[in-house]
Structure 1
């Protein structure tokens, strides 16, 4: 009986030790990225680039856009959204211009995560990583500056959305109804079309007037918009 009891105690101690080891080996919680910094045309940064595609394709990027791996975009930890960069693969001198739309990468010493298409442009799909030179450049001619607004509500009933648009028009700027591109269709009531800071101020005004909402990035040329322009 004593031998059985000693064996049971030993098993319990071994299990507790195992659990304690697994608990101590857990990864620390991820640290949020540092705030965006100010950049200027001509600024240069060098480091390691990686790229991302599936399964992130179709998911929402950090700036509010839907990530499309076929577009020339990239993720950076601190550069402001909308910053344009010339990315040069220093092993083959191939270059591509990308727009920052997302945050990352958060692995090791990597400085930028390119979209799959951008990685293809500089021939780094196979290796997966490449030493690159980043140069801040001016946006391409005709490129629309990033615009922000406030989504006040969303309904499946378009008439209800249009009624709120009429209610808000005249009190708040540029009120539109925007259907989403998924099923079932929701009609989003969005107001404002300016900078992120202006959108934050607009959201505060809306809340003071008894409305709810959240700031989002606009891509109005691609939306089916109704209402005054």
Structure 2
């Protein structure tokens, strides 16, 4: 497959960029991948699919959440070519070929400094800011996934994006190797407002500025899934990692039923901030402070 040639080019790129670009793709966000990336004892010489195959239909898409830190969008040089990343990828839209990368880069650092998980819903792109959420549609079968761009590449051939193995598998082209896709940027704030009733954050205000009205309780929402099974999987992971109540609530929307995964109620902003930090340390993604009657 052509992706293997690109994989070799990434190794060269990594050495040029002092290891920052080793490989190509999120530390898992809510429901993404295994949540625990273990580096293989011996790195494979050739890239490919894992020998232990899981049912990727049980792996939820990435959940677009507003980024609270600085985006990585500084110019860089790879293989003698300069790249200038966009400052905002929410309106990005492009059609072109896509490929994927797997075992050779599993556990290796991405350009965002995270461990690549071949079962995570992530991707590599040359110029989108890191991180960016995008919707990828396989134009050959109309399957769609949402992934989190956290890596740089592909730097060889005409491909516009490299996906994780799991994302390619869900899109139905992992065995084929490449596919024509449509890549569309997502505004996480707009996505959350559309899919999560009670969503309060407009543009990442400090958590102290979010107040509940009399008679309301505060919760931390970690994800919203169309799949009840995916929501329950995340609930179990959170319950095992954190000493707090975690629950799933189905919510009917015009586009279908979403299953919200929430923590709480939380008694104060300080408690919410501690839980958000615990989620980050446990590599379980971000949470949004919401209120409910």
- Normalising by structure 2, we get a TM-score of 0.39
Larger radius of gyration: 1
Structure with the bigger RCO (C-alpha within 8 Å, sep 6+) is 2
- Normalising by structure 1, we get a TM-score of 0.49
